[in-house]
């Protein structure tokens, strides 16, 4: 089975690989992460375990990201990142000569278009923002979110693995895509949603920016965050493991990608979905602790920008220099 068409590396990929300029930059400038990992452990033991057969932890996490956003705001179907994965997948199939998938996607006659139509109808009926759903509605929405996650991975993780979506026939229908979702994964997602309703995160009110992008997103594979509440950027994690270094760097990286400070991020945090818990930090204090000294955020953003790739050939945007006065 062929891999999905490769493309620009995501921020996650740039940070996961130990010897990329981005990873080397953050590790050299922000090496002290033990305090954040200790704070994660202090959140408490896992209360929501992942059942056997739930599938990839990464796919579960992405699916929960989608479901989490539907608790706070309804994203128009055409704005989900998964649509870029559908386009990439269709393009890969077209070049393989399997069928004219791009034409069908453009015409709205492919399976992904049908998935979006079904999801839109469900969301219109269920009205998931800020409320508990009936079990049947919750089960259906979580199943849709898992399928969106599969398409999302075709975009974000291009070239790094194989997708179950590649096994769908050219004339596949929505039910075929839904059959790719393990029942244990739906059970797991429903449990995580129940935990969300009992969490501190669910009590937040006011303006929410779901799935935010940043002025520097295009330099990091289209990087996008999970949620911004007021001035607090939150990254959701549905992991059963400890807090990995690259996750801390990813959260910091998102905030640094706001090169012009347009989003006004002053606090950052993780939503630890399996406890659930919501540890947060003042962003300036987080950087100072990680660096072991006082950090000038504007200068750090400038230097971070200089080590990001500028395109698919991996060229850098330049070497760190003094930021303009």
Pair (213, 251) in one structural domain: yes
Residue 33 and residue 83 in one domain: no
Task: Determine, yes or no, domain membership for 3.
Answer: no
Please check the confidence at residue 80 and state whether its pLDDT lies above 90.
no
Does residue 164 share a domain with residue 275? no
Which of the listed residues 119, 149, 181 is the one where a domain comes to its end? 181
pLDDT digits (tens, 9 = 90+) for 271-312: 999 999 999 999 999 999 999 999 999 999 999 999 998 744
Residue 46 and residue 78 in one domain = no
Classify residue 237: in a domain, yes or no. yes
Cα(125)–Cα(71) distance, rounded to whole angstroms? 14
224 and 171 share one domain: no
Q: Which of 151, 181, 211 is the last residue of a domain?
A: 181
- 91 shares a domain with 65: yes
pLDDT at 129: 95
**How confident is the model over 119-152, as pLDDT tens digits?**
999 999 999 999 999 999 999 999 999 999 999 9
* pLDDT band at residue 93 under the 50/70/90 scheme: low
Q: Domain range spanning residue 171?
A: 56-181
pLDDT value of residue 94: 58
Distance of CA 257 to the CA centre of its chain: 15
In this structure, the answer to whether residues 205 and 232 fall within a common structural domain is: yes
Residue 231 shares a structural domain with residue 314: yes
Name the phi and psi angles at 98, rounded to 5: -70, -45
- Tally of structural domains, the chain: 2
């Amino acid at each position: 089975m062929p891999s999905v068409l490769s493309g620009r590396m995501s921020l996650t990929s740039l940070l996961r690989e130990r010897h990329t300029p981005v990873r080397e930059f953050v590790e050299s400038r922000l090496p002290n992460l033990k305090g954040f990992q200790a704070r994660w452990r202090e959140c408490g033991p896992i209360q929501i375990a992942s059942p056997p057969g739930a599938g990839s932890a990464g796919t579960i996490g992405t699916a929960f990201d989608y479901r989490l956003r539907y608790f706070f705001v309804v994203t128009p179907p055409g704005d989900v990142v998964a649509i870029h994965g559908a386009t990439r997948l269709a393009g890969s199939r077209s070049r393989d000569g399997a069928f004219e998938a791009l034409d069908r996607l453009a015409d709205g006659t492919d399976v992904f278009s049908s998935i979006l139509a079904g999801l839109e109808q469900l969301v219109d009926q269920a009205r998931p923002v800020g409320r508990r759903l009936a079990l049947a509605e919750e089960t259906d929405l979580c199943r849709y979110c898992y399928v969106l996650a599969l398409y999302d991975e075709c975009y974000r993780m291009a070239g790094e693995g194989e997708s179950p979506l590649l096994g769908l026939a050219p004339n596949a229908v929505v039910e075929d895509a839904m059959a790719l979702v393990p029942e244990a994964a739906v059970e797991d997602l429903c449990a995580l949603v129940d935990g969300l309703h009992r969490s501190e995160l669910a009590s937040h009110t006011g303006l929410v920016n779901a799935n935010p992008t940043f002025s520097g997103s295009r330099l990091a594979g289209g990087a996008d965050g999970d949620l911004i509440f007021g001035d607090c950027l939150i990254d959701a994690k549905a992991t059963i493991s400890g807090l990995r270094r690259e996750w801390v760097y990813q959260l910091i990286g998102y905030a640094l990608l706001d090169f012009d400070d347009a989003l006004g991020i002053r606090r950052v945090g993780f939503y630890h979905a399996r406890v659930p818990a919501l540890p947060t930090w003042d962003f300036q204090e987080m950087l100072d602790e990680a660096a072991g000294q006082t950090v000038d955020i504007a200068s750090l953003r400038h230097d971070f920008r200089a080590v990001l790739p500028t395109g698919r050939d991996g060229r850098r945007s330049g070497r760190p220099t003094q930021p303009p006065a």
